[in-house]
Amino acid sequence: MKRTHALLLAAVLAVFVPGAAAAGPHSAATATASATAYSPPWTWPLDPVPALLRPFDPPAQPWLAGHRGIDVAAAEGSAVLAPADGRVIFARRVVDRPVLTIDHGGGLKSSFEPVEASVPVGTVVSKGTAVGSVRAGSHCGPGCMHWGVRLNGEYMDPLAYVSDRRPSVLLPVGRSTQQMSGQVPSDTADVPAPTPHGILRRRAPPSTRPHRRPVPPSARPVKRPG
């Protein structure tokens, strides 16, 4: 009995969703390839990728309290790597902890604390180059490093530069990403669409519907009396 129900369900899906079985794996493979092809502009300043201890939480107003960066797990002595090409513009103690700042150009700057620089100020560094090491004295406690990013003076979320933050797109069943982007024309314009009340056939646009020619009065049948 269960096998009969399964066969009946498969037959209904094959009628109402043509091409779903064939297009499903293709769409999934395309989406997977697209996801793996994405490469963030920066790399993590720690290797391996650290655990996130506290996320970016900017204040509503510049003068209010907030968290203008992220806190990540980092053992004391861990090497800190330049997340992108740039130049070291600051490397000294601020109050009770060492701070390192890299200017990446285009108004972008990244700062790390507590990090003691291993290169002097003015050094040009490339992505992945060791620039310092984690020390004690972080505001988030032992085993933690704070990473902040500023764009033209405004604090940004560092995760936006090292992870895929693009919104996910849910594709309809039976249509590939090429069809959604317009690269491949869709051939489902005349395919019946399933509805709760049955199958509803999509109507062609008014400009493509065949027009019925009016019948002249002389050609209309005349009903004779009697």
Chain CA centroid to CA 24, Å: 21
Residue 136 lies in a domain: yes
Alpha carbons 35 and 29: distance in angstroms, whole number: 10
In tens, the pLDDT along 8-47 reads 455 544 444 444 444 444 444 444 444 456 788 999 999 9
H or E element in which residue 5 lies? helix 2-16
Residue 129 lies in a domain: yes
Domain region containing 124: 52-59+68-162
Residue 38 lies in a domain: no
Residues 6+ away with beta carbon under 8 Å from 29: none
Q: What is the pLDDT of residue 167?
A: 65
In tens, the pLDDT along 159-218 reads 999 987 666 665 565 555 555 555 544 444 444 444 444 444 444 444 445 555 555 555
Q: What is the pLDDT of residue 221?
A: 59
Residue 49 phi/psi, 5-degree rounding, is -60, 125
| Closest C-alpha to 35, from 221, 166, 219, 202 | 166
Residue 42 phi/psi, 5-degree rounding, is -115, 170
Residue 25 lies in a domain: no
Residue 132 lies in a domain: yes
| Total count of domains within the chain | 1
Whole-number mean pLDDT of the chain?
74
Residue 81 lies in a domain: yes
Q: What is the pLDDT of residue 173?
A: 57
Residue 41 lies in a domain: no
Local confidence band at 222 (pLDDT 50, 70, 90 cut-offs): low
Which DSSP string do the residues of 14-35 spell out, in sequence order? HHHSTTHHHHHHHHHHHHHHHH
Q: What is the pLDDT of residue 168?
A: 61
In tens, the pLDDT along 51-84 reads 999 999 888 877 877 788 999 999 999 999 999 9
CATH code for the domain of 157: 2.70.70.10
Residue 39 lies in a domain: no
Q: What is the pLDDT of residue 24?
A: 46
Q: What is the pLDDT of residue 202?
A: 46
Quickly count: other Cβ atoms within 10 Å of residue 40's Cβ. 14
